[in-house]
Structure 1
Amino acid sequence: MIVTITPNPSLDRTYELGTLIPGEVNRAAHDRLDPGGKGVNVSRALTAAGHRTTAVLPLGGPSGHLLADLLRRQGIDVAAVAISGDTRINVSIAEDGGSVTKVNAVGPELSAAESAALLALVREDHLGNDVDWLACCGSLPRGLAPEWYAELVAQVHSGGARIALDTSGPALLAALSARPDVVKPNREELAEAVGRPVATVGDAVDAAGELRKRGAQQVLASLGADGMLLIADEGSWYGSAPVAAVRSDVGAGDASLAGFLGAGGTGPGALAAALAHGAAAVQLPGSVMPTPADLDPAAVVVTADIPLERPLRG
């Protein structure tokens, strides 16, 4: 059983077109509306793979009602805290060739009472004793202090569940001392956390090691098209899964985290599952999450021989 919490969820509207021309009227060839937010996407990917999951969310307004309805239609259990503000709506414009322009709304501001209710909802006595992982994902909305995730990690650890944390900036740094079981930064978030550029695979290994020294038990680092790293007590591994063409990278990192947790959340096998899920996700439209039929495990390569000198693209 994997529970996700998304403090700032969204509805994600994606428009697909040939080429975006700024300042002109652009007509989409296709469009879709999906439940959004990092933890929401993790729950969607887990459900698509046949895992049990509950999505914990603050929801408000018509957009919040629609988000909950879309998730339930996909077979996902929803545990919601009603808030006075409206759930945000984000827009992505996906061009042929894989370029994606995103406009993310700031989202509602949570009151102190709403924040406390959200913390209370994820206590073990509310969600049961069979929770294996709690995935804490995404940015914090206005009204929640950077230490909010740290408090949540400490609270859930005391109940015995393992914690996966996918956030950035002050919220990530504040939570490290609570010793989350795995953190999942991307290259830019790694660089921000350690205060220096990450230009090579070796730089990413060093940055991940620094996060571990600050408290993270494992670091699952996404390097985009250059693959992923897993740095843990048991060992360090690097993996890649090339794809022929990228259709949309929206939610690909969330699909990777779902694959990692669904495969046990530790070791090279879980890293391989993360890579397979991420590679499948970028070949799907919008933020569609992959099913087992979309995965290509044979395309994944994982090794303990990490190419430290390899430069990172972009």
Structure 2
Amino acid sequence: MTTPSTGTTKTVLITGTSSGIGLAAAVAAAGAGWLAVATMRDTGRADALLKAAEEAGVRDLVQVKQLDVTDADSVAACVAEVVAEHGHLDAVVNNAGAGFVGTIEQHGMEKLREVMEVNFFGVAELTRAVLPHLRASGGRVITVTSVGGVVGQPFNESYCAAKFAVEGFMEALAPVAASAGVQVAVVEPGAVSSEFVNNIELDVPALLTAAGPYAPALRGYIDHAMRSFGSDTAQTPQEAAAPVVEALTAETMPFRIQTSDWARDFVGRKLTDLDGSAVQTETTAWLG
């Protein structure tokens, strides 16, 4: 993929690429001809990415850089380095994030702030930093959110709050950015069979012990979630990343992109559920 004006390879910065959707998106973007600047908080975890890039024959188009989206200095330094090295930045994929299961009465405000810091403020900080460069290139911002950014899900108040905030932020930003030549989109996966679930580091017995009066409902939710991530509707990271790369290369991106038929149906039910009763009926049933 080259820029029409200069003939140089287009550059995309992708966060959270040590595993899952981010890893798959970096390899697929390189396969589509982009120079993928694959960032992660700990570059010591880059082996899986580099192996996948090597196997795909795109190792020369994948560049690993350290970036912690919760550290403003790290964000500024990484963006400046990319632009200094390549002369331009054509797209950013906000993918880094962290899952969390729990309810506010039990885990308190500190954990809520921690989840918001990674999943919302980190996205906002990086987006702010790259916008001047994307205005210069006529680029685009693509943010991987979740169906949990549209549908609130039990025991995911903190995670869904952050993802709802990202969706609202990007929906509000999109027309403003478009006025300056920058396209904005959100990508909404459903269940993805990846390291994401493992990264939540659920200690189920401990959670249930601490859940008090919410323990029966939490047990029901965990059983539902494990079935969902192990079901036929769960996508591979490669399947979920494919729409990200399609958005990179499309002439015009839609604002909201679901990654599967299941995600489209799930999000669609929410967007037409004016009084919220359909969603509440569905998610309440998850609790057993």
When normalised by structure 1's length, the TM-score is 0.43
Greater per-residue helix proportion: 2
TM-score, with normalisation over the residues of structure 2? Answer: 0.46
Q: Which has the higher strand share?
A: 1
